[in-house]
Copies of this chain bind each other. A is one copy, B any other.
């Protein structure tokens, strides 16, 4: 009998369930978020709802590189349109990560995913066709493939390289080696192997 009342209200449970679908959020955390929403002042909730709606309405994909954009072209394509080097990344977060490194000033091409047979994602499920067209039309001199150094990222990089080979464009890949501050003892064999193979003179 006691159990009949041992629960949150249905509408609270519904909100908790939505919060658990955000990345890395478990039930207890979702419950805390839901209670925050219930107890927050009206301004916060209205602002939050508007922010969600606004993001859904305003964020489009750049017609050239498929990065997030509020207008037809993203900021980067607008400012660096004429560059002849294209950096290929998995998603828009990677664009921001690379921009923060302050080491690249070409344009990007966002795949919105990688080839992953386990997730039933093939070459046609990512934004790849438009890359081939861009390389042809923009007279690109180099394509730097900056997918993650994991199984899917490597497979995708190799696939793109084979696609681009006929066009004669130079295709490069991010270097693999030791990260800053790594302890040699704990580096994995593959990374250490790459670091040795790609050793440089100082």
Interface pair A5/B76, CB less than 8 Å apart: yes
Chain A 1-40 interface residues, beta-carbon cutoff 8 Å to B: 2-12, 14-15, 17-18, 21-24, 29, 31-38
Interface pair A32/B23, CB less than 8 Å apart: yes
Partner of A102, one of B2, B12, B34, B49: B2
Residue of B nearest to A25 (CB): B33
Residue of B nearest to A105 (CB): B2
Contacting chain B: which of A52-60, A144-152, A154-162, A194-202?
A52-60
Given A24-B29, A49-B49, CB of A55 within 8 Å of CB of B70:
no
Which of A11, A34, A92 has the largest number of chain B CB atoms within 10 A? Answer: A11
Q: Is the interface of A mostly helix, strand, loop or mixed?
A: helix
Copies in the complex: 2
User: What CA separation (Å) do A49 and B44 show in the bound complex?
Assistant: 14
Q: Does A96 make an interface contact (CB < 8 A)?
A: yes
Residue of B nearest to A40 (CB): B21
Interface pair A32/B24, CB less than 8 Å apart: yes
Q: Does A100 make an interface contact (CB < 8 A)?
A: yes
Collect the chain B residues with CB atoms within 8 Å of residue A52's CB: 15, 37, 45, 48-49
Collect the chain B residues with CB atoms within 8 Å of residue A54's CB: 11, 14-15
Q: Does A128 make an interface contact (CB < 8 A)?
A: no
Residue of B nearest to A77 (CB): B5
Chain A residues packing against B (C-beta within 8 Å): 2-12, 14-15, 17-18, 21-24, 29, 31-38, 44-45, 47-49, 51-56, 58-59, 68-70, 75-76, 79, 91-93, 96, 99-100, 102, 105
List 9 additional contacts besides A15-B51, A24-B29; criterion CB under 8 Å. A2-B105, A6-B100, A11-B59, A11-B70, A12-B59, A18-B51, A23-B32, A31-B93, A45-B52
